[in-house]
Amino acid sequence: MVRTRVQPTDIRFVCGLSGYFHKDLRAVKLSPHFDPLADNIAAVTPGFTNVVQPGHVISVLIRLPNGSVAIGDCVDVIFSGAASRDPIFIPAQHLPYLNAVVKPWLLHCDVSVFRLNAAEVDATWRALGNKKLHTAVRYGLTQALLSATAQVSHCTAAEVISREWKVDISTRAVGILASCHRNDWLQLDRMIMKRVALLPHASFVHARDIGEKGKGLLDYVLAVSKRIQERGSFNYQPRLHFDVYGTIGEIFADEEIPDFMELVEQAACPYGILIKSPIVADTKMAQIKRLSQLKRSLRARCINVKIVADEWCNTLEDMRDFTEADAADFLQVKPPDLGSLHNSIDAVLYCQSQNMGCCLGGSANETDISARITAHVALATRPDFLLSKPGIGADEGVMILTNEQLRTLALVDTFDSIPEKKRY
């Protein structure tokens, strides 16, 4: 089949707000008295002027010959600059080269295909001194390019991925992990009522959050388990997921952690439980080594707490290293950290090929646009679950991801836009 070249007619870059904020994780970890409202400690991570800063985005608008507009949002994660991530994304620093260098490139881009363009975005740019674009920029540009390819192909973004990667599109929506505030019990009740697949995420960022000897975390896990049993329908069996940002490793020696994990498993009963980042080491190699040792210990003792790797596991190469070392049960594929969307697609497919569990995650700091694009990636690649985004309102993120998946499945099921698409 002969492909017709399609080039954009105009490009615009628009600054706006993201779904949450940025936080200097290192500064927070160093201070036992951090108060985000009082702003009572100094920032220490390069690029931060305050410990907590509003999140901003650059929307990429690609106007197509038929007058339609494809959109992508350049956005990064809450804890920018931590664990080998790119520095905090400040739009004003990127607009000059976006207009001078990237805009002309986009105007000459053939948007009838996606994957080749995504790889070019992800490569080094000669006009920028053979440097790569910031991960947030690569993420936003490729969202817009994927949307553009879908529009000129008269199909969904999921079908574009299906065609170009030769993968099957799911016949059902991917389950969602609802990201809830730790102290908002009504929010948790709403997620129980909506029967989300996993909950509550409930971040524990500082060692004091999990309490002396982890008692605060154990009490919270037990309370969540009881609340589901009391308020959930009789056949509702979600998995529990908690993000502890290395705090378990801060208060326990590595050899003590399995004993604590056994208590966590008991508190979660009768539900399966996942703990994200139980340890955060100072380097990637140390992180891999310590998580590998922990996983072996848990397996040897038949302690059924699943480890989710996040920190220091930011790139496709990182994910290969964590997988080869058997350092986790699940990897979080975090699109803002991976930059160009083709990396996220490849990462999920790699996890599947290696029988590694996979969360197609992201950040509360994302937007409705990036969340919707992520829903299409999920349908085409079928990770084990999605993280709700943007924000930590849970309701909004679950709604956006659920509805985008269901609408897409209805379109894929109804229209034969891509004859060679495959279903399972």
User: Any catalytic annotation for residue 334?
Assistant: yes
- Sheet arrangement for strand 10-23: 10-23, 52-63, 69-74
* Structure token digits, residue 68: 């339609």
Task: In whole angstroms, give the CA distance from residue 83 to residue 280.
Answer: 9
Helix H, strand E, coil C: the string for the chain is CCCCCCCCCEEEEEEEEEEEEEECHHHHHHCCCCCCCCCCCCCCCCCCCCCEEEEEEEEEEEECCCCCEEEEEECCCCCCCCCCCCCCCCHHHCHHHHHHHHHHHHHCCCCCCCHHHHHHHHCCEHHHCCECCCHHHHHHHHHHHHHHHHHHHCCCHHHHHHHHHCCEECCCCCCEECCECCCCHHHHHHHHHCCCCEEEECCCCCHHHHCHHHHHHHHHHHHHHHHHHHHCCCCCCCEEEEECCCHHHHHCCHHHHHHHHHHHHHHHCCCCEEEECCCCCCCHHHHHHHHHHHHHHHHHCCCCEEEEECCCCCCHHHHHHHHHCCCCCEEEECHHHHCCHHHHHHHHHHHHHCCCEEEECCCCCCCHHHHHHHHHHHHHHCCCEEECCCCCCCHHHHHHHHHHHHHHHHHHHHCCCCCCCEEC
Distance of CA 61 to the CA centre of its chain: 23
Q: Of 284, 295, 306, 334, which residue is the catalytic one?
A: 334
**Ramachandran angles phi, psi of 149, nearest 5°:** -60, -40
Residue 310 known to bind ligand: yes
Residues 6+ apart with CB under 8 A from 162: 168, 169, 380, 418, 421, 422
Residues annotated within the binding site are: 243, 310
Mind telling me the catalytic residues? 334
Residues annotated within the binding site for Mg(2+) are: 243, 310
